[in-house]
Structure 1
Amino acid sequence: MGRKVLVLNADYTAISVCTVPKAFLLVYLKKAELLKDDEAGSLRTVSATYPLPAVIKLHHYVNVPYKSVVLNRQNIFKRDGNKCVYCGNSRELTLDHVIPKSRGGKTNWDNLVAACRRCNSRKGHFTPEEAEMPLAVKPFKPTFVTFLRDFSGNTSETWAPYLSRSQSA
């Protein structure tokens, strides 16, 4: 059961993603309400059938500190579509500093990209312009909601209205 469930705060802002069993437990214990179920399946016990949660909303507002996306290898790869930003290859991905560290480049969202081993080696300690290797996409720092919506790989169409509401809030 690899499905994920979108968890909304009491004010309908997206705060996290959890597993189906965790979401079901929150609904069953009346700590959350089921807003949208996944019509592709259901949860069955010996004596009952329950809808498979897709979106739940907490009954009580939870004060969540500012959420940001963690800068790590997997999240850079997700942001870049698991493809090399130079050639589009999806094999042997590595991290590349757009402005090389040897030239003062920082390790941050705006300077790290996914690159295949071949392109990373070819680019070396040059900038993309010097190596004549243009970036297919400019690196950026995703917001928490856009990361959930566009890059988590678990989103469904049922999440879309709630994530767009969170984006504008």
Structure 2
Amino acid sequence: MRTLVLNAGYEPLAVVSFKRALVLVMNDKATIVEHVADDPVWAAGGAYDRPAVILLARYVRVPGSGSVPVTRRGVLRRDAHRCGYCGSSAATIDHVLPRSRGGTNSWENLVAACVRCNNLKGDRTPQEMGWQLRLTPRPPRGALWTVRGTERADPRWEPYLALAA
């Protein structure tokens, strides 16, 4: 069981275990916004609702630029595991401008690709192959990318994740 943690301004911060969330609630550092119905947690002091979403009592300043690091898994997820060239199921990633020609490992230069297209393209650009990209590669945005653990989101989290998108 996992719990979405919201900052005092209702922006999503993280996903934690329900035990960690319950400790924050019991120590008055957070309040329960959404809970799992009919599944309380019993303690010496009584019963507590099992938290699905909690709100921190104090605002936490989050350092960082908010940019999402480039990873193979992230590129595949961004492109919905579909080849950027033919649209079939993708298992690899491809540099639009090959690294041997100065291409970088950036969101704008990487696309998901099926093994067939990746091998056919080789060390060439899509223009040299006469291919058209199905999408324009760009960095991902929104709470689903900046808050770790939201890829398998609980339906109760959707209103709070939608606010941050």
TM-score w.r.t. the length of structure 1 is: 0.78
State yes or no: 1:68 paired with 2:67: yes
Range 109-118 or range 81-90, more displaced? 81-90
How has the CA–CA distance of structure 1 residues 44 and 152 changed in structure 2, closer, same or farther, with 3 Å as cutoff? Answer: closer
Q: Secondary structure at the match of 2:128?
A: coil
Aligned to 1:51: 49
Q: CA deviation at 1:44?
A: 4.2
Range 152-161 or range 74-83, more displaced? 152-161
Q: How does 1:1-169 map to 2 (within 5 A)?
A: 1=1, 4-39=2-37, 42-45=39-42, 50-66=48-64, 67-90=66-89, 93-147=91-145, 152-167=150-165
TM-score w.r.t. the length of structure 2 is: 0.80
**Unpaired runs of at least 5, structure 2:** none
For these two proteins, the number of residue pairs brought into alignment is 162
Query: 1:76 and 1:62 mapped to 2: Cα distance?
Result: 30
Range 98-107 or range 140-149, more displaced? 140-149
> Over aligned residue pairs, what C-alpha RMSD do you find?
2.7
**Unpaired runs of at least 5, structure 1:** none
Query: 2:24 and 2:8 mapped to 1: Cα distance?
Result: 13
Q: Cα deviation per residue 1:78-136 (whole Å; 9 max; x = unaligned)?
A: 11112322233336x12211111122211111111111222111111222232233222
Query: 1:43 and 1:78 mapped to 2: Cα distance?
Result: 35
- Residue identity over aligned pairs, in percent, reads 40
Q: Secondary structure at the match of 1:53?
A: strand
Query: 2:115 and 2:40 mapped to 1: Cα distance?
Result: 44
How has the CA–CA distance of structure 1 residues 161 and 152 changed in structure 2, closer, same or farther, with 3 Å as cutoff? Answer: closer
Query: 1:152 and 1:82 mapped to 2: Cα distance?
Result: 18
Name the larger-Rg structure. 2
Query: 2:136 and 2:164 mapped to 1: Cα distance?
Result: 25
